[in-house]
C-alpha cells in the first residue's frame, strides 16, 4: 500500500542497499530480493526480474573497482560465475513452478543460512583504509 509507506524511507533503504552492493557485493541479490518482496511488496517473479536487471547494472561498476585494486581471484571468480549462472537458471525454474509463499519460505531459509555463514566464517578487516573480506 503506497499510501501507508514513506517514500523517504524507501529511498533510504535503496540507498543503503546500493552502498552495500557497491562496497561488499556479497549476498546483494538476497538483500535486493528481500527488499523488493517484503518492503516494496513486489510479486516474486517481478522482484526476480528487477533484481537481475539491477545486478547487471551494479556488478560491472563494483567489478571495475575490485579489478582496479587487484582484489580479484580470477580462478575462484570463474567458478562463482559458472555456479551463479547455473544457480540462477535453477532458481528461475523453481520460481516458475512454485507459489509465492513457497518461494518466500525457501528464500528465508537461504537468507538465514547465508547470514549465519557470513557471521561465522567471513571476517571483515580494515587495512590502510581499505576493507578486506
Domain-by-domain residue ranges, the chain? Answer: 7-132
pLDDT digits (tens, 9 = 90+) for 59-70: 788 788 889 999
**CA distances in angstroms from 114 to 18, 33, 46, 96, 98, listed in the order given:** 19, 14, 23, 23, 22
Region of residue 70 (left: phi > 0; alpha: psi -120 to 50; beta: else):
left
The whole model's pTM is what?
Answer: 0.55
Q: Which DSSP helix (H) or strand (E) runs through 26?
A: none
> How many whole angstroms separate alpha carbon 105 and alpha carbon 23?
28
* 23-54: pLDDT as tens digits: 666 677 778 888 888 888 888 788 888 888 88
Amino acid at each position: 500500500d503506497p499510501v501507508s509507506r514513506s517514500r523517504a524511507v524507501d529511498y533510504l533503504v535503496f540507498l543503503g542497499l546500493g552502498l552495500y552492493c557497491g562496497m561488499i557485493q556479497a549476498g546483494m541479490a538476497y538483500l535486493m530480493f528481500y527488499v523488493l518482496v517484503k518492503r516494496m511488496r513486489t510479486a516474486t517473479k517481478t522482484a526476480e526480474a528487477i533484481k537481475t536487471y539491477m545486478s547487471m547494472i551494479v556488478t560491472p561498476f563494483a567489478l571495475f573497482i575490485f579489478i582496479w585494486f587487484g582484489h580479484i581471484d580470477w580462478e575462484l571468480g570463474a567458478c562463482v560465475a559458472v555456479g551463479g549462472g547455473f544457480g540462477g537458471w535453477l532458481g528461475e525454474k523453481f520460481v516458475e513452478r512454485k507459489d509465492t509463499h513457497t518461494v518466500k519460505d525457501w528464500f528465508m531459509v537461504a537468507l538465514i543460512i547465508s547470514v549465519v555463514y557470513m557471521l561465522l566464517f567471513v571476517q571483515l578487516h580494515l587495512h590502510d583504509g581499505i576493507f578486506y573480506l
